């Protein structure tokens, strides 16, 4: 972990991101527009990532696998989605929680073949409604996956002052 930030400070930043990056509504059209923005942003930065946006009911409303993606990336996306739905927080926040609490995936009854304790999954929450889905990214290291989502959500939601973690 970056010595400049304590575990508590990192968790506070992650919680702030989730509080700030909420939607007023979330439709399938929003998923399409967010997904397109993410694909364009990855293209501009020459990043090869897989992107999944799925509603809480399991309906995939956007999916794109850039060149060089494999079935392993697809499995990571599935596991990250499952983790967001189970924990209702970002997968990076869950990962940091495990690292700092002494808990394990096993102690939380979460099979590592189904869930992921790694960054790259972020809850889609609607103000006054709660969790409605998740946006997930795979292809970079897990902190970069998370930061890519934060950058894209900030841009899509026109939020300029979102704290970011570029590395841990």
Q: What is the pLDDT of residue 2?
A: 44
Reported in sequence order, the residue ranges of the chain that DSSP labels E, i.e. its strands, are 50-55, 60-65, 121-126, 130-138
How many structural domains is the chain composed of? 1
Confidence tier at 8 by pLDDT (50, 70, 90): confident
Indicate whether 161 belongs to any domain.
no
Reported as a single tens digit per residue, the pLDDT across 141-165 is 999 999 999 999 999 999 988 999 8
Is 163 contained in some domain? Answer: no
Joined tokens for residue 151: 């950058």
Dihedral-angle region of residue 47 (phi above 0 means left; psi in -120 to 50 means alpha; beta otherwise): beta
Q: Give the integer Cα–Cα distance in Å for 27 and 8.
A: 34
pLDDT band at 1 (very low <50, low <70, confident <90, very high): very low
Whichever domain contains 50, its CATH number is: 3.30.450.150
Which phi and psi (to 5°) does residue 62 adopt?
-160, 135
**Residue 167, domain member (yes or no):** no
Using CA atoms, how far apart are residues 136 and 129, in angstroms rounded to an integer?
20
**17-66: pLDDT as tens digits:** 999 999 999 999 999 999 999 999 999 999 999 999 999 999 999 999 99
């Amino acid at each position: 972990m970056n010595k400049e930030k304590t575990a508590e400070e990192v968790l506070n930043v992650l919680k702030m991101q989730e509080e700030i990056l909420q939607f007023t509504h979330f439709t399938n059209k929003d998923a399409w527009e967010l997904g397109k923005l993410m694909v364009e942003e990855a293209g501009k930065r020459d990043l090869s990532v897989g992107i999944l946006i799925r509603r809480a009911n399991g309906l995939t409303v956007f999916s794109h696998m850039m060149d060089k993606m494999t079935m392993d990336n697809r499995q990571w996306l599935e596991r990250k989605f499952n983790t967001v739905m189970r924990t209702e927080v970002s997968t990076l926040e869950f990962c940091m929680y495990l690292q700092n609490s002494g808990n394990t995936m096993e102690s939380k009854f979460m099979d590592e073949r189904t869930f992921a304790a790694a960054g790259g999954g972020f809850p889609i929450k609607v103000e006054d409604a709660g969790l409605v889905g998740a946006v997930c990214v795979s292809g970079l290291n897990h902190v970069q996956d998370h930061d890519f989502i934060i950058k894209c959500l900030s841009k899509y939601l026109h939020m300029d002052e979102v704290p970011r973690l570029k590395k841990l």
